[in-house]
Amino acid sequence: MKNLLGFFLLFVAGNSIAQVSLVGGERVDYFSSWTERGAKVIPSGEIHLSALAVSRYGNYPKTEINSQLLLFPFAPNVGVKHEWFGQNTIVSTQHSFYYPTLGLKWARSSGFQDQIPKSAVIPHIFTFRNELIVSHIINPQPKDCFIKLPDLVLTGRLGFDFSLTTGDSQLPLLDYHFLYHRTASCHNSQKLYFAGVELDGNVYRNFNFSINADYYSIDFNGEWAAESQGKIHWHRDSKFSVSGGYKLYYLNTNYGSQFLAMPVIDFVFKLNHTTRLQNGLFKK
């Protein structure tokens, strides 16, 4: 009888320990270190609403639709990211469309005459961005690992912008550190080429980090720009996170060079975010 009682207590204790470990595994796996710049798309049916970064909707298992909602009233935009293949190394492509005409017309009539005079003729502008995204998980974990840790991810991006316009254009170049190269393709059929890298990972428990750097070249004509951003992401829970950090801009053009450093803060709401129990582990 004593042996039977001892076995029963040992069985209950073992189950309790397993459940605590599962909860721990669930907690760690909740706070994925992947960002919107990586090759991995969000799960189908999930929605990420961001204040400043890209908002995303997983419309298919390997495809997401995304948009910069804060920019949308001035430059309606939509993008599609598709995850083609890979597990530890994932390859995706992103194709985006922007219509900046509305914002340029607003700037022309809102006191930005130093950049866009009222006499400027602003045509309909259709800007397209195409990029290749490759992400590599530096710390791949065994499939039988009991508790899944956040991935340490290195991402490389390569792409270009081009614009199509209708009618005559007398739009001047916008001499701002973060707008000059982004509107370069609106002028004289120029193209903007860019390349970037990002490192994402976990700092401690529900704190993740991301740091990136991007290089932009305007038609390889000697004008270029560089940007860098670093952020710490605090996940309050699986459905809400806040991030803060820095943003650096450097612009080198025929008109001189400019530099800007500024703080950034953002928050993300996750809708329809769920976990599922699979093979004894909680998976994202």
What DSSP state is assigned to residue 146?
S
Look at residue 211 and tell me whether its pLDDT is greater than 60: yes
- Cβ contact 127:186 at 8 Å: yes
Check residue 14 and give its pLDDT. Answer: 35
How many Å apart are CA 71 and CA 264, to the nearest integer?
16
Q: What CATH number was assigned to the domain covering residues 2-283?
A: 2.40.160
What single-letter amino acid sits at 113?
Q
At 18, give phi and psi (nearest 5°): -65, -40
Check residue 121 and give its pLDDT. Answer: 82
Contacts of 35 (CB under 8 A, 6+ apart): 53, 198, 200, 210
Show the DSSP H helices in the chain as ranges. Answer: 2-30, 101-108
pLDDT range class, residue 23, cuts 50, 70, 90: very low
Check residue 117 and give its pLDDT. Answer: 80
User: pTM for the whole thing?
Assistant: 0.84
> Six-digit token pair at 203?
């700092």
Domain boundaries, the chain: 2-283
Check residue 173 and give its pLDDT. Answer: 75
Question: Closest Cα to residue 170, out of 108, 247, 263, 250?
Answer: 108
